[in-house]
């Protein structure tokens, strides 16, 4: 089949129109040469209103100085992840994150393209989250409300017979009496929030708010408003809202995956740590706040610093007191304790009377490498509890954690294949953490094809 240039162009247009992001392209004269349906929906226009017309004629509120498309087309310098909030011609509030890049063909700059991702739905959900947090801020009974908000873990809930963990508990109780910042490092699933809640509940702040926020779960463009609050009119659609620093006044603010905060926001957080002063977005009024900040990361801090993901000055200020939670593979003596706890928990939830694990299942659980740590162990026990009403045997365990059978049908946990796979899972988990879970970078560091790495991540439940 012979494909003409016209066919290729139509195929390309069909592909671009199917992408769930707004795409706007101009040539060197500032004339729009491509504008997809999503971009038209953002702006409240029809595609025909824009195609073939000068950009500044269609959007008179823009100028050569304020239009990112024209600026990039003139300078040849890309602009990444620029946040934009506006009302379109139909009155709808639009919130986008835009990336604008030059179009260079055969060494010549011939135009620019802007890709706009609609963040309106994410913004609306985030603002609802802030409103829900604000509703909890009833000063007369805030302590009761916050206690009901899943801030339930105490040091007694940390099940361990590991000397290292017992030392962490002992230090945590001492630290809870002060107001110093705390930095917690541990792989995913090691129980960072459990420790943080225990510190809060053991402290003089136990009857004050505890607010937890995973920084990676909210778009960077919205984090500042969520943390510091907003004043009405600070940007289109902004309302008077307290941020998490105000809501957590007198209590504890836990910021997980702190390394995902943009650098400018890390600088603002450092200022709060230094002088205890905050200012809402769009306001010129400053006021003091009394909040204990506890930060956490699932990556080695040294790696984060070397990759410029964490400001050194912020790290040094947060790292007044630090805890490194060991992975489960380093505290295997805790596995039987945890298994018994999870069996009891799921007996209650499932209305069962499972007596525990048999000897072979216990050996398998003890020798598996647990790249997902305590969380993975809990899920494995839950899976097994779904398969039996009496005692957990190897047949009830998830396939990926079971070693091979020998020829006589018995399990042998010391099998070479099992040990190799456990070591492989441990290495992949380690490099994944060091790379910030960047699959492409991890594959490069391990000298492994990306597709192979994706398969092994799924296989080992990483």
Domain-wise residue ranges, the chain: 5-118, 122-326, 348-459
Smallest CA-to-CA distance from 201 within 190, 185, 212 is with: 212
- Non-local (6+) Cβ contacts of 169 within 8 A are 155, 158, 160, 198
Q: How confident is the model at residue 3 (pLDDT cuts 50, 70, 90)?
A: very low
For 4-41, b/e burial (b = at least 16 CB within 10 A) is eeeeeeeeeeeebeeeebbbbbbeeebebebbbebbbb
Residue 168's closest CA among 160, 179, 296? Answer: 160
As to burial, measured by CB atoms within 10 angstroms (0-12 exposed, 13-18 middle, 19+ buried), residue 358 is middle
Between CA 14 and CA 18 the distance in angstroms is: 6
Helix (H, G, I), strand (E, B) or coil at 189: coil
Q: Residue 355 has what pLDDT?
A: 92
In contact, 219 and 82? CB cutoff 8 Å: no
Residue 95 CB coordination number (10 Å): 24
| DSSP for residue 260 | G
- pLDDT attached to residue 1: 47
Lowest-confidence pick of 138-152, 253-267, 387-401, 415-429: 138-152
pLDDT the model gives residue 412: 47
Q: What Rg value do the Cα atoms of the chain yield, rounded?
A: 27
Nearest Cα to 224, choosing from 261, 172, 173? 261
Closest CA to 79 of 90, 91, 70, 88: 70
pLDDT digits (tens, 9 = 90+) for 262-314: 898 999 999 999 998 988 887 788 888 999 999 999 988 988 999 899 999 99
Q: What is the DSSP string of 44-80?
A: T--GGGTTTSBHHHH-TT--TTT-HHHHHHHH---EE
Three-class SS state of 436: coil
| Single pTM value for the model | 0.62
pLDDT for position 141: 40
Per-residue model confidence as pLDDT tens digits over 306-360: 989 999 999 999 999 999 999 999 999 999 999 999 999 999 999 999 999 999 9
Full DSSP string of 295-325: EEESS-HHHHHHTTSS-HHHHHHHTTEEEEE
CATH 3.40.50.300 fits 122-326, yes or no: yes
Residues of the chain above pLDDT 90, percent: 43
Q: 141 vs 285, which has greater pLDDT?
A: 285
Sign of CA dihedral 164, 457, 381, 152: positive
Cα separation, 380 vs 377, whole angstroms: 5
pLDDT at residue number 146: 39
The CATH H-level superfamily of 5-118 is: PAS domain (3.30.450.20)
Structure-model confidence comparison of residues 361 and 452, the more confident one: 361
Query: Smallest Cα–Cα separation from 371: which of 413, 330, 336, 334?
Result: 330
Q: Does the pLDDT value for residue 46 go beyond 70?
A: yes
Please give the Cα distance from 50 to 34 (Å, whole number): 9
- Residue 137 pLDDT more than 70? no
Average pLDDT, stretch 5-17?
A: 66
Give the β-pairing of 22-27 and 32-35. Answer: antiparallel
Q: How far is it, in rounded angstroms, from Cα 159 to Cα 284?
A: 48
CA distance 69 to 76: 10
């Amino acid at each position: 089949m012979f494909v003409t240039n016209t066919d290729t162009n139509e195929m390309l247009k069909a592909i671009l129109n199917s992408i769930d992001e707004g795409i706007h392209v101009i040539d060197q004269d500032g004339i729009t040469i491509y504008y997809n349906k999503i971009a038209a929906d953002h702006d409240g226009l029809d595609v025909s209103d824009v195609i073939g017309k000068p950009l500044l004629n269609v959007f008179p509120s823009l100028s050569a100085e304020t239009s990112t498309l024209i600026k990039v087309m003139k300078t040849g310098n890309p602009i990444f992840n620029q946040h934009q909030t506006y009302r379109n011609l139909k009155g709808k509030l639009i919130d986008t994150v835009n990336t604008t890049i030059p179009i260079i063909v055969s060494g010549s700059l011939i135009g620019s393209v802007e890709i706009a991702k609609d963040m309106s739905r994410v913004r609306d959900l985030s603002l609802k989250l802030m409103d829900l947090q604000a509703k909890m801020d009833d000063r007369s009974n805030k302590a009761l409300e916050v206690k009901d908000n899943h801030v339930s873990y105490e040091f007694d809930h940390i099940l361990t017979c590991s000397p290292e963990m017992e030392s962490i508990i002992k230090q945590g109780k001492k630290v809870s009496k002060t107001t110093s910042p705390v930095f917690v490092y541990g792989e995913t699933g090691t129980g960072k929030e459990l420790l943080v809640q225990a510190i809060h509940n053991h402290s003089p702040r136990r009857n004050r708010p505890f607010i937890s926020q995973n920084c990676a779960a909210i778009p960077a463009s919205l984090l500042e408003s969520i943390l510091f609050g907003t004043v009405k009119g600070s940007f289109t659609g902004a309302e008077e809202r307290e941020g998490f620093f105000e809501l957590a006044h007198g209590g504890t603010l836990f910021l997980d995956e702190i390394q995902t905060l943009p650098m400018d926001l890390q600088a603002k957080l450092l200022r709060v740590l230094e002088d205890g002063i905050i200012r809402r977005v769009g306001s010129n009024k400053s006021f003091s706040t009394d909040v204990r900040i506890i930060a956490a990361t699932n990556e080695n801090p040294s790696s984060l610093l070397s990759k410029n993901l964490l400001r050194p000055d912020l790290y040094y200020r947060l790292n007044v007191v630090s805890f490194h939670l060991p992975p489960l593979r380093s505290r295997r003596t805790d596995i039987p304790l945890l298994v018994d706890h999870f069996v009891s928990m799921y007996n209650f939830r499932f209305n069962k009377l499972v007596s525990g694990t048999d000897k072979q299942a216990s050996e398998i659980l003890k020798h598996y490498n647990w790249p997902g740590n305590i969380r993975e162990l809990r899920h494995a026990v839950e899976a097994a509890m779904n398969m039996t009403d009496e005692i957990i045997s190897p047949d009830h365990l998830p396939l990926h954690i079971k070693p091979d059978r020998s020829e006589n049908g018995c399990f042998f946990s010391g099998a070479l294949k099992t040990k190799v796979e456990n070591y492989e899972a441990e290495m992949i988990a380690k490099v994944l953490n060091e790379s910030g879970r960047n699959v492409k970078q991890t594959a490069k560091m391990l000298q492994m094809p990306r597709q192979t790495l994706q398969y092994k991540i799924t296989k080992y439940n990483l």
